[in-house]
Amino acid sequence: MLKSTKENISDGFYNRYFKQNAEFRFGVEMVQFLYFKKGKFLNPRKKDEYIEQYTKEEIENFFDKGELNIPQITFCITTKCSLKCKDCGSLIPDFNCKEHIDMSLDEFKQSLDKVCDAAAKIRRFVILGGEPLLHKDLSVMIDYAAQKENIDVVEIITNGTMIPGEAVLTAIEKHNKKAYLYISNYAVNKDLLPRLKHEEIKSLLKLHNIKLQMVDVMGWLKEFSFSKEASDFETTKARYKKCHCSHCTQLFNSKIYVCSKASSAIELGLVDVDDYIDIKNSKDLKQDFIKFYDKDYLKACEYCILSDVPVLPALQD
Ligand X SMILES: C[S@@+](CC[C@H](N)C(=O)[O-])C[C@H]1O[C@@H](n2cnc3c(N)ncnc32)[C@H](O)[C@@H]1O
Residues near ligand SF4 (CB under 6 A) are 81, 83-85, 88, 90, 92-93, 129-131, 159, 239-240, 243, 245-246, 258-259, 261-262, 297, 300-301, 304, 306, 314
Smallest distance from ligand SF4 to CB 266, Å: 10
Pairing of strands 220-221, 151-158: unpaired
Considering only 23, 137, 223, 288, the residue that binds ligand X (CB under 6 A) is 223
- Residue 116 binding: pick among ligand SF4, ligand X, none (C-beta 5-8 Å cut-off by kind): none
- Residue 196 binding: pick among ligand X, ligand SF4, none (C-beta 5-8 Å cut-off by kind): none
Scanning residues 33 to 72, which ones bind ligand X (CB under 6 A)? none
User: Interface mask (CB under 6 A) for ligand X, residues 228-267, using x and -?
Assistant: --------------------------------x-------
Smallest distance from ligand SF4 to CB 240, Å: 5
Of the candidate spans 23-31, 111-119, 126-134, 293-301, the one that interacts with ligand X by CB under 6 A turns out to be 126-134
- Cβ 265 vs Cβ 305: under 8 Å: no
Considering only 30, 188, 221, 273, the residue that binds ligand X (CB under 6 A) is 221
Measured from the Cβ of residue 150, the count of other Cβ atoms closer than 10 Å reads 15
- Residue 245 binding: pick among ligand SF4, ligand X, none (C-beta 5-8 Å cut-off by kind): ligand SF4
Scanning residues 170 to 209, which ones bind ligand X (CB under 6 A)? 184
Of the candidate spans 113-121, 124-132, 146-154, 227-235, the one that interacts with ligand X by CB under 6 A turns out to be 124-132
Interface with ligand X includes 159 (CB under 6 A)? yes
Nearer to ligand X, 118 or 154 (CB): 154
- Residue 164 binding: pick among ligand X, ligand SF4, none (C-beta 5-8 Å cut-off by kind): none
What distances in angstroms separate CA 162 from CA 80, 131, 202, 297, one per listed residue?
Answer: 13, 9, 12, 35
What does DSSP assign to residue 316?
A: B
DSSP assignments along the chain, one per residue:
-----SSS--HHHIIIIIIHHHHHHHHHHHHHHHHH--S----GGGHHHHHHHHHHHHHHHHHTT---EEEEEEEE-BS--S--BTT-TT-GGGGGGS---B--HHHHHHHHHHHHHH-SEEEEEEEESS-GGG-TTHHHHHHHHHT-TTEEEEEEEE-SSSPPPHHHHHHHHHTTTTEEEEEEE-TTSGGGGGG--HHHHHHHHHHTT--EEEEE---EE----B-SSPP-HHHHHHHHHH-TTTT--EEETTEEESSHHHHHHHHHTSS----SEETTT-S-HHHHHHHHHTSSS-GGGGTBPP---EE-TT-B-
Q: Which residues make beta-bridge pairs with 214?
A: 183
Considering only 108, 220, 257, 303, the residue that binds ligand X (CB under 6 A) is 220
Number of residues that bind ligand X (CB under 6 A): 17
Smallest distance from ligand X to CB 183, Å: 7
Nearer to ligand X, 154 or 285 (CB): 154
- Residue 239 binding: pick among ligand X, ligand SF4, none (C-beta 5-8 Å cut-off by kind): ligand SF4
Considering only 17, 73, 102, 129, the residue that binds ligand X (CB under 6 A) is 129
DSSP assignments along 147-169, one per residue:
T-TTEEEEEEEE-SSSPPPHHHH
Of the candidate spans 111-119, 129-137, 164-172, 204-212, the one that interacts with ligand X by CB under 6 A turns out to be 129-137
Question: Contact positions toward ligand X, by CB under 6 A?
Answer: 81, 87-90, 128-131, 157, 159, 184, 217, 220-221, 223, 260
